[in-house]
Structure 1
Amino acid sequence: MFEIGALVTVALLWGCTNPILKRNSTKIVEIKSTSKIQKFYLEVKYLFTNLDYMIPFIVNQLGSVIYFIALQNIDISLALPVSNSLTFVFTAIMGWILGEDLPKRNVSLGILLIFIGTALCSYAKQPYSN
């Protein structure tokens, strides 16, 4: 059960930070330069000096560290679908909280199906106790 909690935590960290990273990196397109190398340097500098971007980025990477650690004890056939599908769910919810459009009916149905599928995958991978 700890493993499933770790995967849900990973999905939560990834999903909740994705819309924030997107929102806080939009001004990167305004960076102009005559050289591609200088433009790349200015973009990297912008991202690394922008705390509104870096804090969610670090939280996102913390999710990656937890995922890496969790993979030592979890079957990849469970870890991959649970973490990635729930990331989509948390991204949609967080986007809505941040003011993006409310998920349409098909997206809401997809979220429900993801929850059902995740529960079934998790249940199927649980060891049976006799």
Structure 2
Amino acid sequence: MYSFVLFYNFKGTKGLRSVQAKSKVGQLYAEVVFLLSNWKYVLPWLINQAGSLVYLMAVQRLPLSTAVPAANSLAFAFTAITAAAIGSEEPLDSRKITQLWLCEE
């Protein structure tokens, strides 16, 4: 999931360097408005925040010995799946899928 967020946030920030303002405060405001008005930035950010909320709820409701390894393995799985989907790595074969499955157990 994190690679999805990083990949699309990178694409979502395209054009940010062209935003110009006369003062530092104006520059900050212009950049924030640019980012918040760009769905390619906002959507992955919201997905990331939703994942953080799910993690916090899991930590509150489950024993730490269960919640933390599960969250880490799911983060790894989503990162691997997303990396394969966007083409930054080779596609997942049966060996990698088995490794992902074993990490979640």
Q: TM-score, normalised by structure 2?
A: 0.66
Determine the structure 2 residue equivalent to 1:127.
none
Determine the structure 2 residue equivalent to 1:46.
34
CA contact (8 A) 1:16 1:91 kept: yes
CA contact (8 A) 1:19 1:91 kept: no
The CA deviation at 1:101 is 3.8
C-alpha spacing 1:48/1:42, structure 2 compared with 1 (3 Å) = same
Q: Distance in 2 between matches of 1:51 and 1:22?
A: 12
Pairing 1:118–2:76 present = no
C-alpha spacing 1:35/1:84, structure 2 compared with 1 (3 Å) = farther
The CA deviation at 1:32 is 4.1
Determine the structure 1 residue equivalent to 2:57.
69
Q: Distance in 2 between matches of 1:76 and 1:99?
A: 34
The CA deviation at 1:49 is 0.8
C-alpha spacing 1:110/1:75, structure 2 compared with 1 (3 Å) = farther
5+ residue gaps in structure 1?
1-12, 104-108, 120-130
Q: TM-score, normalised by structure 1?
A: 0.57
CA contact (8 A) 1:15 1:89 kept: no
Report sequence identity in percent: 29
Q: What is the CA deviation profile of residues 73-127 of structure 1, one whole-angstrom value per residue up to 9, with x for unaligned ones?
A: 1122332232233223312321332233427xxxxx78754542331xxxxxxxx
* 1:80 equivalent among 65, 68, 75: 68
**Structure with more relative contact order (C-alpha pairs < 8 Å, separation 6 or more):** 1
Q: Distance in 2 between matches of 1:15 and 1:99?
A: 11
Q: Distance in 1 between matches of 2:96 and 2:24?
A: 41
- Counterpart of 1:117 in structure 2: which amino acid? C
